[in-house]
A and B are shown apart, each in its own frame.
Chain A
């Protein structure tokens, strides 16, 4: 339970810091880089190394590469949809979120599970 609380607090703090950094930066294309900051990874990997060891954290990092490719597909599709259609940012980002799950699990089935 305490580990979960620590994860929540550290994760919330790191994600908020990257978000504030992104808010303060211009141009927006540069600030956008921080939308894909490794915030969850930074909050998680240190705790994982302490609790489960380096090999376990390395295995998580391997899968994270697939998650990053899925994120790339998702972010590029949201960017395209916002230019192409008259949709709100909230609508596009939420409707397309299943794309991240789809791509990451397909990649995991193709590459990660091997």
Chain B
């Protein structure tokens, strides 16, 4: 069952928030500069740059370790496994990212950009969640 816990956001420190904002901003600005300098074919690669991924898995490991430390346990292993599970989820999300890009590539030349980007977001969500559900239910076995 998917849960949404607002309390988990409180574990994130202001410094972590600033770091994410800064890193995300720098990556987006850099993608624009690269496209300007080398053209859309190279610049487009950076639209799928794992901007947030290293910070996310690092924070997950740190938070899980901290949680275990509160009850007096060493959470090193638990933290690493949580980060691994999150990474596996991101790998599934990449299939959704691929579907997002495919929809934009096919739709943008001939349709309204706002409509295409909105549909692409929906395609990303549906593809990612469907793959996650298939994996969770092991529909195709192990």
A interface residues, Cβ below 8 angstroms from B:
3-4, 7-16, 18-20, 22-49, 52, 54-72, 74-76, 78-80, 82-83, 86-90, 92-94, 97, 100, 104-105, 108, 112-113
Contacts and interface: CB of A to CB of B under 8 A. Distances in A.
Given A11-B27, A59-B40, A67 B48 contact: yes
Interface of B: 2-6, 8-9, 11-12, 17, 20-29, 31-33, 35, 40-61, 79-98, 100-102, 104-105, 108-109, 113, 117, 120-121, 124, 128-129, 132, 135-136
26 contacts: A12-B28, A15-B52, A16-B17, A19-B56, A29-B88, A33-B90, A33-B129, A35-B57, A35-B90, A37-B52, A40-B47, A40-B51, A41-B47, A41-B48, A43-B24, A46-B117, A54-B113, A60-B40, A62-B105, A64-B45, A64-B104, A71-B48, A72-B98, A88-B58, A89-B61, A97-B54
B32 A24 contact: no
Contacts of A68: 48, 94-95, 97-98, 100-101
B1 to A, nearest CB: 8
B52 A89 contact: no
Nearest to B117: A45
Given A60-B43, A71-B94, A78-B57, 10 more contacts: A35-B89, A40-B24, A55-B109, A58-B109, A62-B105, A63-B41, A64-B97, A76-B87, A76-B88, A79-B91
A67 B47 contact: yes
For B55, B108, B124, B129, the residue with the greatest tally of chain A CB atoms inside 10 Å of its CB is B108
| Residues of B contacting A: mostly | helix
Contacts of B47: 38, 40-41, 44-45, 60-61, 63-64, 67
B28 A29 contact: no
Given A29-B86, A58-B109, A113-B41, A44 B32 contact: yes
B132 A29 contact: yes
B46 A40 contact: yes
Contacts of A7: 25, 28-29, 31-32
B44 A60 contact: yes
Contact of A4 (B12, B29, B79, B86): B29
Given A7-B32, A64-B48, A75-B53, A36 B24 contact: no
A15 B23 contact: yes
